[in-house]
Structure 1
């Protein structure tokens, strides 16, 4: 009589690609399960489409597709903040490559039909190689499409997640117990002081978002400010708030590529969260353009997410397809080098890595607390994307996989005049409102 080996369950197959024990409870739609029964968090595979996503795109992309589609649920946590489950998985989950024979057995048991990729969720953009129809990477047209994908989601959704400041960049916490709004105000005030803004000066804010820095500089420092953003929804919202605050005699936000700014002679330029979208090979042109917008002895403040190293590393598939299409990161050393190479003098550099982890934790909390309203605004799939990406990013900042750096530079004259004090005091003087 033939010796037939028992067929693998989904949970059995999952165990075979693990190196070690499973750190949470896994259950599947075929009734199988693995992992500790008393685990505080679990992962439930709900249907065949979810299995096909996992089999056709192993890694973060397949898992992301199944999660965004609702084919995988994380139990014990709210979808607005799956941070704790991601932390358990990152620390305790180790994958291995099965042998060819094991791989054949797994695929045969789970069904060869699951190797046909299902259509991806509608929140997913094209892979990099297919975006060439939209133009060369970081061309104006392709950058415009990338920004539209991420930022023109819904201003109401962003208000729920970001809070009243409508600031989608790292906050700077003056104290460990400061609120998000206090920390965002402090961040803008710190940047204003690093730039030494004074009434009557002119500031250019590139990639200005909803105009937080634009409005702060005009309201609190009496500065004439021009902000530019590629997001039409951001520009419309910002212009409305500028008018409501009675700042339209000082402040303007344009729906425009920063490269279309023709004015020069600015006393200061701020770039808060734009460099991530520029492309590393374009840094010389980018920083050269910003230098040319400055008057002699003017200042540049560059605020951007960086890696913990300066080696080339492509963005992961999930982040590239769902969050920041064409986004690129490098280390602070590369940023400093490129700023210096265009002739600017770097005066100060600062890392706010732990501050971004705190910022993301609050954004996740906001999403969880306003989940029903967010889902009503953008749909559950998009809300799931945001919960997953923010929680994962928080973990990456906490583990020092990515960082956030300020680089302050001056357009120092040929005879060495920088207009920079012998000892700056911007950190001590930065302010924030009381709770």
Structure 2
């Protein structure tokens, strides 16, 4: 008897407790209990996606093209479903005896690679036609893919702060907005910002850090971003808040910043994009742009170990962060020290990013219809998957978030730090 789609799903993709599979050929598989969730494979096209790319990429392709669904799933916040799918499922290879049945099933589905979702980026190999990884042109293209979705979409997703980096929750009951404000204030305190200082914020996004530092600490600040959408939005907000005499949001590669002698530099969420091999040049550049005694704070997603630095693969690379690279925090600290920076403080905010991504999912779910209307169903679905999966990965310690604070210590050993800093006690959410 020929293998059914349901049987094939169980055998090769793995049975998921609490999830039943209902396939277009009338077959079923998985958990048969009455309270199990139902995953539906709607057509041979769904099977083609799964057979041509077993695992998360194939599942994502089938879901984004509406060939796969799970009954009752909140598409803005598919966290429970991802916990089911990623909790105990393990793909296995067919045995020699099973190969003929699998081939027969593939033939019945007309096995081929269906049209890829519009939301998927070209393969890493095909990206070579756009230049070498982390060259200026290809970096700009990668940033455009991820950040230039739509400012209106990001307003729905991120909330009033328009901050797309890990928040820091001062209390269990703090809101997302309070936590984002607290994060900016904590960074300002760690950097020791005072009236009249000059701040450079590389990878400034929509300008949240720039505006917070100027408004509450009296500094003059320059923010740079490769995203034109972000720069336009941030510049308009700077003008609307009456900060244009002390704040600038510039559409620019950070490598084109010519000003030097900054009192402080913040790098919040940029290191993930520059490539591990470029860390030495990156931190050397930032050090060169600080005055003696000036401070640098680097805030970025990291791996939990230092054994496997390099390009993110699978779902993240193909759909979310093309060319993104992560390393362990010790790798970052080592490079910073090797480039002449003195590391003064280092902390892991992993649990805070799990909360942050969960809060973004709540926003997406609450504004689902408006998000779909603004960015399209495929993009909205992709962000639901990405953010819910991120929450799960931060919770399970598969990825982390580290802040590393360093100084350009002078030749005489002056770091500019007091004997004991008090930034945690002083930082606070601000309006």
**Correspondence for 1:10:** 5
Conserved? CA contact 1:23–1:93, under 8 Å: no
Root-mean-square deviation (CA), in Å? 1.3
**2:35 corresponds to 1:28:** no
CA contact (8 A) 2:264 2:295 kept: yes
1:420 to 389, 400, 417: 417
Corresponding position of 2:322: 325
Alpha-carbon distance between aligned partners in 2 of 1:28 and 1:282, rounded to the nearest angstrom = 47
Q: Which runs of 5+ in 2 are unaligned?
A: none
| Distance 1:422-1:415 versus aligned 2 partners, 3 A rule | same
Q: Deviations over 1:115-156 (max 9, x none)?
A: 210110111111111111111100010000000000000000
Q: What is the TM-score of this pair, normalised by structure 1?
A: 0.96
- The residue that corresponds to 1:111 in the other structure is 107
Instruction: Answer whether contact 2:4 2:25 (CA < 8 A) is retained.
Output: yes
Residues 1:405 and 2:402 aligned together: yes
- Contact preservation (8 Å) 1:23, 1:92: no
Partners of 2:358 and 2:14 in 1: CA distance: 30
The whole-number CA distance in structure 2 between the counterparts of 1:42 and 1:199 is 59
Map 1:161-180 onto structure 2 (within 5 A): 161-180=157-176
Q: Any idea what SS the aligned residue of 2:97 has?
A: helix
Q: Distance in 2 between matches of 1:193 and 1:103?
A: 62
Equivalent position of 2:211 in the other structure:
215
Checking the alignment, whether the CA contact within 8 Å between 2:176 and 2:359 is kept in structure 1 is yes
Quote the Cα distance in structure 2 between the aligned partners of 1:423 and 1:263: 31
Q: Retained in 1: the 8 A contact 2:200–2:266?
A: yes
- What is the CA distance between 1:239 and its match in structure 2? 0.3
Matches of 1:216 and 1:149 in 2, distance apart? 27
Asked whether the 8 Å contact 1:25–1:39 carries over to 2, the reply is no
8 Å Cα contact 1:23/1:89 also seen in 2: no
Counterpart pick for 1:302 among 298, 301, 314: 298
Cα distance change of structure 1 residues 125 and 176 upon mapping to structure 2, 3 Å threshold: same
CA distance in 2, matches of 1:292, 1:314: 27
In 2, the alpha carbon distance for the partners of 1:70 and 1:301 equals: 43
Quote the Cα distance in structure 2 between the aligned partners of 1:18 and 1:140: 40
Is residue 125 of structure 2 the alignment partner of residue 129 of structure 1?
A: yes
Structure 1 unpaired stretches of 5+: 1-5
What is aligned with 1:233? 229
Any idea what SS the aligned residue of 1:128 has? Answer: coil
Per-residue deviation at 1:19? Answer: 5.2
SS of aligned partner of 2:244? coil
Shift, 1:94, TM fit: 2.2
Tell me the residue number matched to 1:3: none
Deviations 1:319-350 (A, max 9, x none): 11110000000100001001001000000001
1:339 pairs, out of 336, 340, 343, with: 336
User: How many positions carry a matched residue from both structures?
Assistant: 429
Cα deviation for residue 50 of structure 1 reads 1.3
Give the SS at the match of 1:190: helix
Aligned counterparts of 1:21 and 1:290: Cα–Cα separation in 2: 48
Match of 2:46 among 45, 50, 66: 50
Task: Go from structure 1 to structure 2 and tell me whether the alpha carbon gap of 1:19 and 1:68 turns closer, same or farther (over 3 Å shift).
Answer: closer
Q: Residue 386 in 1 paired to residue 375 in 2?
A: no
1:247 matches 2:243: yes
Aligned with 2:417: secondary structure? coil
Is 2:320 aligned against 1:361? no
Q: Distance in 1 between matches of 2:35 and 2:268?
A: 41
Deviation, 1:86, is 0.8
Higher deviation after alignment, 168-177 or 12-21:
12-21
Deviates more, 1:16-25 or 1:308-317: 16-25
Q: SS state of the match for residue 91, structure 2?
A: coil
C-alpha deviation, 1:112, in angstroms:
5.8
Task: Compute the displacement of 1:80 (Å).
Answer: 0.7
Q: Please tell me whether the aligned partners of residues 56 and 315 of structure 2 are also in contact (alpha carbons under 8 angstroms).
A: yes
Specify the SS of the correspondent of 1:300: strand
Residue matched to 1:141: 137
TM-score (norm 2): 0.97
Structure 2 residue 91 is the aligned partner of structure 1 residue 87: no
Aligned pair 1:374/2:371, yes or no? yes
Alpha-carbon distance between aligned partners in 2 of 1:77 and 1:20, rounded to the nearest angstrom: 19
1:22 Cα deviation (Å)? 4.3
Runs (4 or more) in structure 1 with deviation over 3 Å come to: 18-23
Structure 1 residues 288-310: Cα deviation after superposition (integer angstroms, max 9, x where no partner) = 00000100000000000000001
> Does the 8 Å contact 1:74/1:82 carry over to 2?
no
